[in-house]
Amino acid sequence: MSTVTLRDVAERCGVSTATVSAVVNGASWVSATTRNRVQRAVDEMGYRPNQHARSLKTQRGYAIGVIASDLTNPFFTEVVRSLSHVLREDGRVLFLCDSDHRFELGDTNLRMLFDSHIAGLVLIGDSVREETLRRFVRRRAHVPIVAIERDYDLDDVSCLVVDSEAGAHSATHHLVGQGYRRIAMIGGPQHGPGSTTFGRAQRYAGYTRALEEAGLPVDAKLVVEGNFRFAGGQEAMRRLLAGSARPDAVFAANDMMALGAISVIHSAGLRLPDDIAVVGFDDIPIAALTSPGLTTVAMPKSELGRGAAVTLAQQIGRARPLALRRVLDTELVVRQSSTRWPTRH
């Protein structure tokens, strides 16, 4: 089926394309008789304005750009799903990009989105370098920006983050309460993409605080670096099993690394949680479907997406958007991967 154009509607109604455009855009100078005739033709013919072309012409965007760090991770897709639902209700669409944990790709995505005259921007995770974003903020100060799980040091960027330290503390405290004593941590990368994700340092801080409160040592040999991906969790777990002191429990800084660790534990012929317990972070859908089920720290994924959309709606149209900061809570979800006995409350 061919696309109905302004010219098609104009020819049917015997008016100019300018008149049809005026009706579609709600101009007041068109007579009521002509307006009704044109509107009826628009409805019957199924004409839809080309919003992208309009935004390029007027330099006023209607779409929201989104750059996520890794769309293979269900955490990001859950946040994007919630965000897109709210944007659709507001009459906006979403231009979605995946930086694939590569800064150069994130920077390219940023340039493309700003060239498309977006009305707002959402950055999820560690997807764009701060210095790159700073340059674009100077040039496009009227475009509101919301960062999720990344705390940019920029006055014009709003952020939504999760209290990762409290979440990691509760996860580690749970393992201590189950009788585990050699508790390892698989953390995020210390350098490069992912290293400035908001929760990376906070989760390590929560882990160490819980150990210190329990009178347990923070053993550097039990802290290994991952990359927030399944394969990174596998490699980190192999290093832990090859070490001189095998851990009896592992806290992974996200669920994808926790699942990678579990696959290696199974391959080594070890049992969860009897030989090694595992706790993750995010509560992605598959966490409840593994065998045994993965104990994890639930992130408020839907609330992060909705919160970003609402924040943008409050900011769009301002000459200078106001930067807001909001910290959301987590919740420990206890399943079988870490429970030797029922959790005491």
Of the candidates 11, 81, 7, the one whose C-alpha atom is nearest the C-alpha of residue 50 is: 7
Residue 61 is predicted with a pLDDT of 57
What confidence tier does 57 reach under pLDDT thresholds 50, 70, 90?
very low
What is the rounded CA–CA span in Å between residue 239 and residue 222?
9
| Average of per-residue pLDDT across 12-17 | 89
How many whole angstroms separate alpha carbon 90 and alpha carbon 300?
A: 22
Nearest to 252 by CA among 274, 275, 284: 284
Q: Please state, in angstroms and rounded to a whole number, the distance separating the CA atoms of residues 225 and 202.
A: 14
pLDDT band at 248 (very low <50, low <70, confident <90, very high): very high
With a cut of 50, say whether residue 339 has pLDDT above it.
Answer: yes
What is the structure's pLDDT at 53? 52
52-63 average pLDDT score = 53
pLDDT over threshold 80, residue 39: yes
Whether residue 300 is preceded by a cis peptide bond, meaning omega within 30 degrees of 0, is: no
Q: What pLDDT score was predicted for residue 95?
A: 92
The closest alpha carbon to 69, from 218, 199, 215, belongs to 199
Q: How far is CA 123 from CA 3, 20, 98, in A?
A: 33, 38, 10
For each of the domains in the chain, give its residue range(s) and CATH number, in order of start.
Answer: 6-49 (1.10.260.40), 59-162+301-329 (3.40.50.2300), 164-299+332-338 (3.40.50.2300)
Range of lowest pLDDT (37-46, 161-170, 330-339): 37-46
Please determine, for residue 75, whether its predicted confidence score (pLDDT) is greater than 90: yes
Residue 137 has pLDDT above 90, yes or no: no
Question: Each residue of 162-215: pLDDT tens digit?
Answer: 999 999 999 999 999 999 999 999 999 888 777 778 889 999 999 999 999 999
Q: What is the pLDDT of residue 342?
A: 59
Question: Would you say 79 and 162 are in contact if contact means Cβ atoms under 8 Å apart?
Answer: no
Q: Given a cut of 70, is residue 2 above it in pLDDT?
A: no
345 pLDDT more than 70: no
Read off the pTM.
0.80
> Looking at the DSSP assignment, which residues form a beta bridge with residue 157?
145
Predicted confidence at residue 235, as pLDDT, reads 98
Burial of 239 (0-12, 13-18, 19+ CB in 10 A): middle
Integer Cα distance of 157 and 137 in angstroms: 9
Q: How many CB atoms lie within 10 A of CB 24?
A: 17
Whether 60 shows a pLDDT value over 80: the answer reads no
Instruction: Find the range with the poorest average confidence among 92-106, 155-169, 291-305.
Output: 92-106
Q: At 97, which helix (H) or strand (E)? A: strand 93-98
How much of the chain, in percent, has pLDDT values that exceed 70? 92
Q: Is the confidence at residue 48, as pLDDT, over 80?
A: no
For residue 91, the model assigns a pLDDT of: 81
Name the pLDDT band for 23 (thresholds 50, 70, 90): confident
Contact 232, 254 (CB under 8 A): no
- Long-range contacts (CB closer than 8 Å, 24 or more residues apart) made by 241-245: 241/265, 241/268, 245/182, 245/219, 245/221
> For the chain, what is the mean pLDDT?
89
